[in-house]
Amino acid sequence: MSHTILTVDDAATIRKMVVFTLKGAGHRIVEATDGLDALSTLQSNPVDLIITDVNMPRMDGIELTKKIRSMPAHSRTPVILLTTESDPAKKQQGRAAGATGWIVKPFNQQQLLAVIAKVLPN
């Protein structure tokens, strides 16, 4: 089943990898370059899942997750943090903000698809 997924990352190469993987699995992808861009994008694009980097300019992924959780339309939308951060304290901040899952970069396609399969209904 196809889902609409928002990928948020300030690194174009990471967004391209995510887009390539997810489009190949039949999903529709919407892209944003940081947290503020993502919030703006969410106003006009309903999505089934959000995959966001943690470390970004203007608004990081932790703050973005908190804001998403405060939006009635997206309070239950799964949020996956895709990041180079492996620090347990940072992971706990993500969980406390409302993140659904955490993937450490570099990631492989199967790993990303497996996490998505767990959080999105078929």
The pTM of the whole model exceeds 0.75: yes
Domains delineated in the chain: 4-119 (3.40.50.2300)
Structure tokens at 57: 């300019």
pLDDT at site 2:
87
| Full 3-state SS string of 6-26 | EEECCCHHHHHHHHHHHHHCC
Mean pLDDT for all residues in the chain: 92
Residue pair 69/98 in contact by the 8 Å Cβ criterion = yes
- In this prediction, residue 107 has a pLDDT band, given cuts at 50, 70 and 90, of confident
Quick: pLDDT tens for 30-83. 999 999 999 999 998 899 999 999 999 999 999 999 999 999 999 999 999 988
